[in-house]
Structure 1
Amino acid sequence: MTPHLRAAARPDVAAAIAGRLLRHAAPDLPETSGPGRETPRYTVDWAGPVGADLPDERAVQAACGLMQVHGRATGGPLPLAVDYASVVAGVLAAQGVTALRVARARGLDLREVRTSVAQGALLAIGQYLAAETARDNSGPPEPDSPPPSTAGADALPAGGLATLETSDDARVEVETLDPLAWREFWARLGVAPALAGRGWLPFQQRFATAVCPLPDELHRAARRRTLAELRAAAHRTGISLLTVGSDPAPAVRPAAWCLTPGPAPFPRARRHQHTAVPGPRPAVPLSGAVLPLTGLRVVESTRRVQGPLAGHVLRMLGAEVVRIEPPGGDPMRWLPPLAGDCSARFSALNAGKPVVEADLTTAPGRAMVRALAAAADVFLHNWAPGKAARLGLDASDLLPDHPALVYAWASGFGDAFGDRPPPLGTDYLAQVHSGLAAAVRPADQPPAPSLMTLTDVLGGLVCAQGVLAALAAREATGRGSRVDSSLVSAAALVPRSAHRPRWTALDRPLRTADGHLYLGPEARACPEAVLRLLDGAGPMATEHLAARFSRRTTEEWTVRLAEAGLTATPVLTDLTALARAPAFRAAVAPPDPSTGHARPYAPWEFA
């Protein structure tokens, strides 16, 4: 399949990722043919519905908030040193085309899809956008999170990373979800329990706030110990620890997802094919238009970000998504800031999903899940390794009686550690293991994961694309599948050079009199052209050249650069502005009574 792209303004990285995923999604499926059955088409560009001139990846990062969120932990807006937004857009394009294949096989007359790098960036910061805009409606900001202001990331303390340094110059990332294990780990390093406790809240909240201002005493305690001593303390307390290397190359290059066909439908299933593969069910399209997955049902048992985002994507494509939650509801529902009576971050990924409560520790609860899966097209979970088998809810338990089911597991590390027990499968450890922690920062910064949840978002998107590939295969073969994806398999999609890049001052956001400005590709590549705009300036180092930008406002510099034929993008440092800016009116929905926070619109337009 060779989707058609506009020759002009094509983001090459996004197109390459889309092509790679589409080849992986349907290597053996026959093409549709005949009148009205031409190959689905897609268009991916930089800005999409965003009314701004966005000529490249960095302009998108500046305008759509990625620089602001990524830079929070280090004191100011900072680009990601990889084409992250383009990779997200490539996955979105592949999702759109694969969803069209499913829709057309089911008789829906949809033929093309559009998306953009800017829409990918907005989807990636959706949780942060929800939290910032809900905070205006729900009182003061929660502790240890950045306040919304025009100062943005510059108002945060520098050094807000969780990465620890040892006495023998190693850098390590630790992870635990257990406060008792956290306290015991630091006790073995000579830290008093009360002091360790002060670090627990920012450590856990870093997933939500993208900053981790640990007490300095914890960093000093780690620097007094060797790597071997930290590893021993982590081993004895059950904390996961990985060494942060400086090599940006992926440690492994797994397939984005692995699709294992289920058993062929047996005679009894064929006689009841109308129940094995449910037909279209009544559904209300999110935008009032026909969507590719309208009539399909997804059942998910997921938590945190990766799994819920996969379900969120399938819902935006038109599926009915039913959540299974423990009795009393998912505890993440009440994490501040609240939008009405629900966590804004939770709502950003789970709004519109009906909920069924089931206690999976009991036989009736597990029977309820089996019944829900039997009436679904997709069953999705991101449980810890081995949990599905212990519950009797693995693919091998469900597919024999429901051979048309798509069974999807979104994991942290998949089989990347072989027979060894994997670390805790969370975003930051996945960044470390995949080399992304080194790749996202330039060579003059120590390697460390971005505290923006890069792999959680990308992992959820890759899982959803695996599900779509399995649904497309089911339409051609009548068989369901098991889909395995992971955070590290998603991280491996991100292209990166063999060595970390070296940046000048012009490769970073420039402070102006009232904010920040990011130079376009021509200006970054040609400092002499920028120098000519500085009144009476002679030859100077790029650091001194950059410092002179503080003499004028962002708007003044933008106009002067444009008059010289150079592009520049104002750096967004206040996410709440996305809900107010006219340029984002068609891409971001303002807070409304149903959610209480702003949200990106679905990142595809189908026709």
Structure 2
Amino acid sequence: MTLCVPRAGAPATAPVAARIAAHVLDLVDDPATATVGWDIDWQGPLSVPLVDEGAVQAACGIMHVHGRAAGRPAPLAVDYASTVAGVLAAQGVCAALLARAAGADVTQVRTSVSQAALLALAQYLAAATADGDNPEDGLPSRTGTGQGSGPADCPFVSADGVRFELEVLDADRWLDFWQRLGADRAEIGRGWRSFQQRFATATCSLPPALSATVRRVSFAAIRATADRSGAAVLSVREDPLPPTVTPPWTLTPSPEPGGTTSGRTRTGGAPRTAGAPLAGLRVVESARRVQGPMAGHVLRLLGADVVRVEPPGGDPMRGIPPIAGTCSARFSALNAGKAVTEIDFTSATGRRAVRELVSEADVFLHNWAPGKAARLGLDAEDLRSARPGLVYAWASGWGDALGPIPPVGTDYLVQAHSGLAAAVRPADEPPAPSLMTLTDVLGGLVCAQGVLAALLARLRTGRGGRVDSSLYSAAALVPRGWRRPAATDRPLRTRDGYLSLGPQARERPDRLARALDLGAGAGVDAIASRARTRPTADWLPRLAAAGVAVTPVCTSLADLARDPRFAPALAVGEYATPLAPWEFS
């Protein structure tokens, strides 16, 4: 992806984040965005010294969550947190303009890469802090040594050497797929729970018998089996670059006017302030899992009134452990603070109820499967009569990138096909998706940004519009095309933890060697061996005195909630959750 150079006067403290922000704001195509100042730094309100993407990933827990599957912390070999921060900055600018149109005095927005990282980990952080005994928060290891060095059992490898990702969303299809391939029924059953929970736990330890089963079958036969059983498989691309250039979102204006041209909604609402730039705007959200709820969560953090539509009996995800109070901590991390109404879409009464909700709303967003909205009579054209100025947002898996009948659009399949799976791994590891839900989170943020762009366009034109975004389009936003050297980019293990090396230590390992009381010519193995002889606390003053910047790696998200240095960015109650990542002035 070619990124735009930051506009004149834009900050360069976090250069990749600044380029992403400038690129996204250019796509908004509104000259007024140049009138709002924005700033992105590394540490934001945290009292933690952070100097680059690696330090943020280490201190804020990204290395910990991404590395869970391998049994030790591991960096994402892309500037993921910086990409998220860039989108957040663009969101802040658009929200400031919407607030200004309603009379608020907002001229500046500030965010940070560290706050972006914490927001990206919101579900994992909530799960880790809902129960002090949560087994997911440590450093699990497939080998029992904590020394895992690569991806876990996913993705699979076929008999002809094709690495592929498998997606199955229900137990019956999982059973049918593996039985058709000849796997043992008991092994199939043992594998389902870990496979099903990998989105929540960022681990996937499957019975070795399942991997052995597919190693005896060609990829063509595996694909045919998947087609018959209703599973989905896609090969993991070796090329880290996206196969197509895809805009993060597309905006199609409504053919007829009917939207508001003022800063206030048709239903009025609370006055907008710097603390709540979207106050008075109403969003109706019908979404599950992460992508759609994240979009609604961001709009709510910006002050919008979000009404969540759930099926009768409520969203099943509410009961997924760990429970905080009476609800799943993971679910609450993205949905707390939203009003809830239960509606049966399959009935005519339910569809009328949706239209009534939408008639008083500014935004309707969903992440339904392709074709569902049209079948229900709740597509953009159907709802425009209920609310002519409506911003209608669909957050899909693939958009139109893989045709009208794409495979199921989930995070790991998108990582595999988009090249992101190749980009996130260092050079000496084969491509494999991160089990941290990278595109789910970024996809939700991109959807929210598309909504904000559409609301700004409605101010100018009086027309609502349709916003289309996808996990696939979000994945393409992550800058890539290179892979970091593996030896110096991985965290250095100490006796009781890990250290992430700063830029100087990565570029000048001789300085690191001398700081560890080794000769300047010591190799990677000697450095690693020496580092393990002392605890982290012993090494930090020695390395600081030698001018070698390192960052202790977070190995427990629960520790972040107890660390006073993180207190300005986190709210801690029944679980810990990131505070809104913007400061407006």
| Range into which the TM-score falls when normalised by the shorter chain | over 0.9
Matches within 5 A, 1:357-436: 357-419=342-404, 421-436=405-420
Which 4+ stretches in 1 moved above 4 angstroms? Answer: 1-7, 149-159, 273-277
Give the 3-state SS of the residue equivalent to 1:304 in structure 2. coil
Contact residue 68 and residue 573 of structure 1 kept, 8 A: yes
Deviation at 1:160, TM superposition (A): 3.2
Alpha-carbon contact 2:142-2:152 (below 8 Å) kept: no
Amino acid at match of 1:487: L
Note closer, same or farther for the CA distance 1:240–1:157 as it changes in structure 2 (3 Å cut): farther
Give the AA of the match of 1:540: A
SS of residue paired to 2:393: strand
The 1-side partners of 2:466 and 2:48 are apart by 42
1:501 deviates by: 3.4
Instruction: For residue 3 of structure 1, report the CA deviation from its aligned partner.
Output: 6.4
* 1:402 to partner: Cα distance: 1.9
Could you give the per-residue CA deviations for residues 266-317 of structure 1, whole angstroms, max 9, x where no partner exists?
Answer: 6xx89xx99994253138x9xx963110111000000000000000000000
**8 Å Cα contact 2:96-2:274 kept in structure 1:** no
Report how far residue 546 of structure 1 moved: 2.0
Q: Could you tell me how far 1:540 is from its partner in structure 2?
A: 2.6
The percent of aligned pairs where both chains have the same amino acid is 58
Alignment counterpart, residue 455 of structure 2, candidates 447, 454, 471: 471
Query: Matched residues in 1 for 2:140 and 2:542: separation?
Result: 23
TM-score by length of 2: 0.95
Does the residue aligned with 2:478 lie in a helix, a strand or coil? coil
For 1:605, the equivalent position in structure 2 comes to: 583
Asked if the contact 1:162/1:203 (under 8 Å) is kept, the reply is no
Cα deviation per residue 1:63-113 (whole Å; 9 max; x = unaligned)? 000000000001100000000000000000000001111111121111111
Q: What's 2:19 paired with?
A: 16
Superposition deviation, residue 30 in structure 1: 5.0
Partner of residue 114 from structure 2, selected from 105, 113, 118:
118
What are the within-5 Å matches in structure 2 for residues 225-374 of structure 1? 225-265=217-257, 277-282=265-270, 290-374=275-359
Give the deviation of 1:154 after TM superposition: 8.0
**How many residues are treated as equivalent by the alignment?**
579
Which residue in 2 is equivalent to 1:35? none
Task: Output the CA distance in 1 between the equivalents of 2:435 and 2:144.
Answer: 16
Cα deviation for residue 585 of structure 1 reads: 1.2
Q: 3-state SS of the aligned residue for 1:532?
A: helix
Counterpart of 1:444 in structure 2 is 428
1:535 aligns with 2:517: yes
User: Structure 1 residues 281, 185: CA separation in 2 closer, same or farther (over 3 Å shift)?
Assistant: same
- Alignment partner for residue 205 of structure 2, among 190, 205, 213? 213
SS at match of 2:313: coil
Amino acid at match of 2:39: T
Contact 1:3 1:39 in 2 (8 A): no
1:502 aligns with 2:485: yes
Taking a change above 3 Å as real, the CA distance of residues 152 and 73 of structure 1, as seen in their structure-2 partners, is: closer
Could you tell me how far apart the structure 2 residues matched to 1:64 and 1:555 are? Answer: 18
Partner residue in 1 for 2:180: 188
CA shift for structure 1 position 563:
0.8
Give ranges in structure 1 of 5+ residues lacking alignment: 33-37
Q: Counterpart of 1:282 in structure 2: which amino acid?
A: A
CA distance in 2, matches of 1:263, 1:484: 16
Are the counterparts in 2 of residues 150 and 574 from structure 1 also a CA contact under 8 Å?
no
Counterpart residue identity of residue 269, structure 2: R
Partner of 2:65: 69
What TM-score does the superposition give when structure 1 sets the normalisation length?
0.91
Q: Report the CA distance shift for 1:522/1:424 in structure 2 as closer, same or farther (over 3 A).
A: same
Distance in 2 between residues matched to 1:517 and 1:118, nearest whole Å: 17
Please name the residue that 2:533 is paired with: 551
Counterpart among 523, 526, 543 of residue 505 in structure 2 = 523
Q: What is the distance in 1 between the residues matched to 2:205 and 2:140? A: 21
- Cross-structure match for 1:146: 136
CA RMSD of aligned residues (A): 2.3
CA displacement 1:408-432 (0-9 Å, x = unmatched): 000000000124x211011001101
- State the partner residue of 1:178: 170
Deviates more, 1:580-589 or 1:203-212: 580-589
2:558 alignment partner, one of 567, 570, 576:
576
Give 3-state SS (helix, strand or coil) of 2:283's partner. Answer: strand
